[in-house]
């Protein structure tokens, strides 16, 4: 009996380790924005097809996260923020992570093609490759603009959701893509401002490390302004109504205000950087919730 309990506990421990390898918090954001793209599309998909397609997308997002952790396990071990991940702590080996990431990537793309359509499968493939190859393997240690270009990987899910429903890509999901794309730099640069020591230790050329605090604050403010403008475009193009417009206006103005406060702050940048990072998560969630509500009403 005791042996059985130990076996079950070991199995659950390993299962949880592989689950953590898939970056569940990132995966949940991918699923959420993908669902919004799916529901916002002008076509209906039956529940079973939608659920299975979303599971495939979630698996693909998790696969990309696993391959990211496999490739960056040496860097993760150097950073306080990531040193407790499954590979640095020895819960999972690099080879296990590589095999898991590659196999789940393949399964997710094939499953999405089977349950949905070719374009959706292609978009998921591009997302995985962009995150793993373009961002993780190439850009991250090459340029302080890594998160700007690499942020495209996290912006694809609304387009994937849209293609699951329609089988094509139009301007509307591209606008949702742009919202996430221009949200990403200020979100991650705010994090890097109060985690500069981590990135220094790992020799990752994030903007505060390479260009300094002042330049980073200016860039955060500029991208905050661009995000504010981009967030209003779905209304001006006639895709969404006053509910979305008023929500994005209020949320965006406060975002710009926080970015401005950070810009002029000279003594306690970390305080406002943390505020921006935390608020940016709430901001993106509420923006996409308002897309759903506006579309339903």
pLDDT digits (tens, 9 = 90+) for 262-284: 999 877 788 889 999 999 999 99
Which carries the bigger pLDDT value, residue 83 or residue 112?
Answer: 112
Residue 116 exposure: Cα atoms within 13 Å on the Cβ side:
34
pLDDT band at 106 (very low <50, low <70, confident <90, very high): very high
Residue 4 has pLDDT above 70, yes or no: no
Q: How many domains does the chain have?
A: 2
Residue 4 belongs to some domain of the structure: no
Note the pLDDT tens digit of each residue in 151-192: 899 999 999 999 999 999 999 999 999 999 999 999 999 999
CA distance 292 to 297: 9
Domain boundary among 121, 146, 164: 164
pTM for this predicted structure:
0.93
Same domain, 211 and 95: no
Quick one: how far is CA 48 from the chain centroid? 25
Same domain, 51 and 159: yes
CA distance 37 to 283: 17
pLDDT band at 11 (very low <50, low <70, confident <90, very high): very low
Same domain, 264 and 278: yes
Residue 132 belongs to some domain of the structure: yes
Of the candidates 187, 201, 185, 200, the one whose C-alpha atom is nearest the C-alpha of residue 146 is: 185
Same domain, 159 and 184: no
CB-based contact 144:206 (threshold 8 Å): yes
Same domain, 177 and 160: no
Three-state SS string across the chain, please?
CHHHHHHHHHHHHHHHHHHHHCCHHHHHHHHHHHHHHHHHCCCCCCHHHHHHHHHHHHHHHHHHHHHHHHHCHHHHCCCCCCCCCCCCCCCCCHHHHHHHHHHHHHHHHHHHHHHCCHHHHHHHHHHHHHHHHHHHHHHCCCCCCHHHHHCHHHHCHHHHHHHHHHCCCCHHHHHHHHHHHHHHHHHHHHHHHHCHHHHHHHCCCCHHHHHCHHHHHHHHHHHHHHHHHHHHHHHHCCCCCHHHHHHHHHHHHHHHHHHHHHHHCCCCHHHHHHHHHHHHHHHHHHHHHHHHHHHHC
Domain boundary among 111, 145, 164: 164
pLDDT at residue number 247: 97
The enclosing domain of 158 has a CATH number of: 1.10.357.140
pLDDT at residue number 8: 53
Same domain, 93 and 29: yes
Same domain, 179 and 286: yes
CB-based contact 46:52 (threshold 8 Å): no
Same domain, 197 and 67: no
CA distance 28 to 33: 9
Domain with 40, as residue range(s), is: 19-164
pLDDT over 70, % of the chain: 96
Residue 9 belongs to some domain of the structure: no
Note the pLDDT tens digit of each residue in 22-79: 999 989 999 999 999 999 999 989 999 999 999 999 999 999 999 999 999 998 998 8
């Amino acid at each position: 009996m005791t042996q059985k309990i130990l076996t079950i506990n070991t199995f659950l421990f390993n299962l949880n380790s592989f689950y953590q390898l898939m970056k569940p918090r990132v995966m949940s954001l991918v699923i959420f924005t993908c669902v919004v793209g799916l529901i916002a599309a002008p076509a209906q998909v039956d529940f079973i097809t939608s659920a299975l397609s979303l599971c495939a997308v979630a698996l693909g997002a998790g696969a990309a996260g696993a391959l990211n952790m496999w490739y960056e396990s040496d860097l993760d071990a150097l950073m306080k923020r990531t040193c407790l991940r499954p590979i640095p702590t020895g819960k999972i080996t690099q080879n296990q992570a590589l095999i898991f990431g590659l196999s789940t990537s393949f399964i997710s793309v094939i499953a999405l093609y089977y349950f949905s359509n070719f374009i959706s499968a292609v978009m998921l493939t591009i997302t995985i490759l962009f995150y793993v190859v373009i961002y993780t393997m190439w850009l991250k240690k090459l340029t302080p603009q890594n998160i700007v270009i690499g942020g495209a990987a996290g912006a694809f899910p609304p387009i994937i959701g849209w293609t699951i429903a329609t089988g094509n890509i139009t301007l509307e999901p591209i606008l949702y893509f742009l919202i996430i794309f221009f949200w990403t730099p200020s979100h991650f640069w705010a994090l890097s401002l109060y985690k500069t020591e981590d990135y220094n230790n790992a020799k990752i050329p994030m903007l505060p490390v390479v260009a300094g605090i002042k330049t980073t604050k200016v860039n955060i403010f500029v991208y905050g302004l661009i995000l504010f403008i981009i967030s209003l475009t779905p209304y001006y193009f006639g895709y969404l109504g006053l509910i979305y417009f008023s929500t994005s206006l209020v949320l965006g103005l406060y975002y710009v205000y926080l970015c401005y406060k950070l810009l002029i702050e000279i003594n306690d940048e970390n305080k406002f950087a943390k505020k921006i990072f935390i608020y940016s998560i709430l901001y993106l969630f509420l923006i996409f919730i308002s897309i759903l509500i506006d579309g339903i009403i």
